[in-house]
């Protein structure tokens, strides 16, 4: 057969192969229905609230429609989640109405609000479900039989938890308008509110990567930090009555907050997942070659849990004192919390040979870690730019070398260097895992430590 004949045959063969359907032809009827609902809902919102919208808010509406639709088309569960959250949130808003006027006191009078849909109740449901999801994930990881079944239940519970978290977020936003005339604001103004967002947002990322990699084996480790955040959320709600809606302080009375804070928490959530999967990576690796050095993250994590009550100042206050720094002893709640945390970490170390073999391959853990760090760095960069613009408006300067700004820059360089080493020098394996965990500690100090130990322009975020 001559070269010309071979070329002709190859062309015929290529031409006979079915072409891959185009992007829009792969969409289903539901995708178009959802797109129509989004456009219709946002159009209705525009005409309903048009007298109150400024140019910025109109721009946000115009940008929201295609972004939301594209996200739902990229990952179809988002469309189902959006519809359920919208129905529940609108139901709650309707239940608050009396003669066409929203009444905040209805939260204690209407059964569905009091026990299901009011923001505080929804937060409690989300918290319980996140803890239950973590338990099921770990039972599935450790079970000798039917482990996949338990993990699947854990994932379904996590979906319900995300739904309740988003309902709590949406309903609380509406409640800020009811609580006091002119008070309405997006509920991301204090630690209580941002931890609600951290819970559902991080869990949603975990569920995405599980679907993307067709595994339920990453939820056990990733959900541990989510559960730890739930414990803090509950403590903070009870001891500081943080669930009570308060007027915004002047520093937060800006529409920049709507952009800067959520963008930051995308980074916090993805970097948290990266660190926990790095932890899992090192544990899985240590089963093949036992090394106490490789288990260093276990001891570091244990130290963080042990120091957490001290860092947060979670102590009982001496009689007659009003300052939480006047400590007379660790509260019972945090004593139990620390004890349980140490037991969990000790159990993970002792049982690593039993579950490590069930974890995804080292290459999969490494790849998810890489993607989480890359996404986190992208959003952290955007959040830093937005923060600089906010600072220029609020304080007259884009950058003031405030402790929060300085440590944010350190966090950015930590992950930027990780990503640079990955793309240029092929950074992988043990060093990459340690680096991801170190970045997690640095980011936590940026978020917690600066507010607790250092003063500055961001002191309003202190505990």
135 shares a domain with 192: yes
- Whether residues 52 and 177 share a domain: the answer is no
* Residue where a domain terminates, one of 211, 229, 245: 245
Is residue 155 a part of any domain in this protein?
yes
- Angle 246-248-254 from CA coordinates, rounded to 5°: 155
Residues 189 and 49 in one domain: no
Same domain, 158 and 171: yes
Q: Are residues 149 and 36 in the same domain?
A: no
Query: Which residues on neighbouring strands pair with residue 98, listed in sequence order?
Result: 101
Q: Is residue 294 part of a domain?
A: no
Query: How remote is the C-alpha of 163 from its chain's centroid?
Result: 13
* E strands present in 177-261: none
* Long-range interactions of 335-341: CB distance < 8 A, separation 24+: 337/231, 337/235, 337/308, 337/309, 338/305, 338/306, 338/308, 338/309, 341/228, 341/302, 341/305, 341/306, 341/308
> Is residue 311 in some structural domain?
no
**70 and 119 housed in the same domain:** no
Last-in-domain residue among 9, 42, 74: 74
Q: Measure Cα distances from 181 to 102, 389, 454 in Å.
A: 11, 29, 35
Residues 6+ apart with CB under 8 A from 73: 27, 31, 35
Within a domain: 39: yes
Q: How many CB atoms lie within 10 A of CB 95?
A: 21
Q: Does residue 374 belong to any structural domain of this protein?
A: no
Whether residues 68 and 154 fall in one domain: no
The domain boundary residue, chosen from 184, 213, 245: 245
Q: Is residue 393 part of a domain?
A: no
* Beta carbons of 383 and 263 less than 8 angstroms apart: yes
| 162 and 133 co-located in one domain | yes
pLDDT tens by residue, the chain, 463 residues: 554 555 555 455 545 555 666 677 788 999 999 999 999 999 999 998 888 888 888 888 899 999 999 999 999 999 999 999 999 999 999 999 998 888 989 999 999 999 999 999 999 999 999 999 999 999 999 988 888 899 999 999 999 999 999 999 999 999 998 886 566 889 998 889 999 999 999 999 999 999 999 999 999 999 999 999 999 899 888 887 888 888 887 778 888 888 899 999 999 999 999 999 998 998 888 754 545 555 555 555 556 555 555 554 544 444 454 444 444 455 666 667 777 777 787 788 778 888 888 899 999 999 999 999 999 999 999 999 999 998 888 888 888 888 888 999 999 999 999 999 999 988 898 899 999 999 999 998 888 777 766 665 665 555 5
Q: What is the pTM of this model?
A: 0.87
Whether residue 89 is found in the same domain as residue 234 = yes
What is d(CA 439, CA 412) in angstroms, rounded to the nearest whole number? 9
The reply to whether 110 falls in a domain is yes
Are 120 and 213 found together in one domain? yes
Number of domains in the chain: 2
Residue at 17 is within a domain: no
Nearest to 208 by CA among 131, 283, 155: 155
* Domain boundaries, position 35: 31-74
Specify whether 60 is located in the same domain as 108: no
The reply to whether 230 and 193 lie within a common domain is: yes
């Amino acid at each position: 057969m001559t070269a010309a004949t071979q070329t002709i045959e190859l062309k015929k063969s290529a031409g006979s192969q079915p072409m891959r359907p185009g992007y829009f032809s792969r969409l289903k009827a539901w995708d178009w229905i959802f797109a129509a609902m989004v456009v219709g809902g946002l159009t209705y919102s525009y005409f309903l609230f048009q007298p109150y919208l400024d140019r910025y808010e109109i721009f946000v509406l115009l940008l929201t429609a295609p972004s939301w639709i594209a996200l739902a088309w990229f990952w179809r569960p988002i469309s189902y989640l959006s519809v359920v959250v919208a129905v529940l949130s609108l139901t709650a808003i309707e239940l608050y109405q009396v003669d066409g006027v929203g009444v905040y006191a209805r939260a204690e009078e209407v059964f569905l609000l009091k026990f299901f849909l009011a923001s505080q109740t929804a937060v409690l449901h989300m918290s319980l479900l996140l803890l239950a999801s973590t338990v099921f994930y770990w039972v599935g990881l450790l079970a000798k039989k039917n482990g996949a079944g338990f993990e699947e239940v854990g994932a379904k519970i996590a979906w319900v938890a995300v739904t309740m978290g988003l309902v709590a977020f949406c309903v609380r936003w509406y409640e800020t308008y009811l609580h006091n005339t002119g008070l309405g604001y997006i509920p991301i103004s204090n630690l209580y509110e941002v931890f609600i967002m951290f819970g559902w947002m991080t869990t949603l990322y975990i569920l995405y990567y599980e679907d993307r990699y067709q595994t339920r084996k990453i939820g056990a480790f990733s959900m541990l930090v989510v559960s730890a955040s739930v414990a803090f959320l509950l403590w903070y709600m009870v001891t500081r009555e943080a669930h009570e809606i308060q007027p915004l302080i002047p520093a937060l009375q800006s529409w920049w907050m709507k952009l800067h804070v959520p963008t930051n928490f995308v980074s916090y959530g993805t970097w948290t997942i990266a660190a926990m999967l790095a932890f899992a990576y090192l544990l899985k690796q240590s089963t093949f070659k036992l090394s106490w050095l490789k288990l260093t993250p276990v001891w570091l994590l244990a130290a963080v849990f042990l120091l957490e009550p001290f860092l947060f100042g979670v102590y009982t206050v001496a009689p007659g004192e009003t300052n939480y720094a006047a400590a007379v002893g660790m509260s019972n709640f945090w004593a139990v919390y620390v004890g349980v945390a140490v037991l969990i970490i000790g159990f993970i170390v002792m049982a690593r040979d039993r579950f490590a073999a069930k974890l995804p391959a080292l290459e999969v853990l490494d790849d998810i870690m890489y993607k989480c760090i890359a996404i986190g760095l992208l959003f952290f960069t955007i959040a830093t730019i937005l923060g600089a613009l906010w600072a220029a408006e609020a304080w007259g300067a884009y950058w003031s070398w405030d402790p929060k700004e300085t440590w944010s820059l350190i966090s950015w360089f930590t992950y930027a260097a990780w990503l640079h080493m990955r793309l240029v020098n092929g950074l992988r394996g043990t060093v990459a895992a340690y680096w991801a965990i170190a970045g997690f500690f640095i980011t936590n100090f940026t978020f917690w430590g600066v507010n607790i130990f250092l003063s500055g322009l961001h002191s309003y975020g202190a505990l």
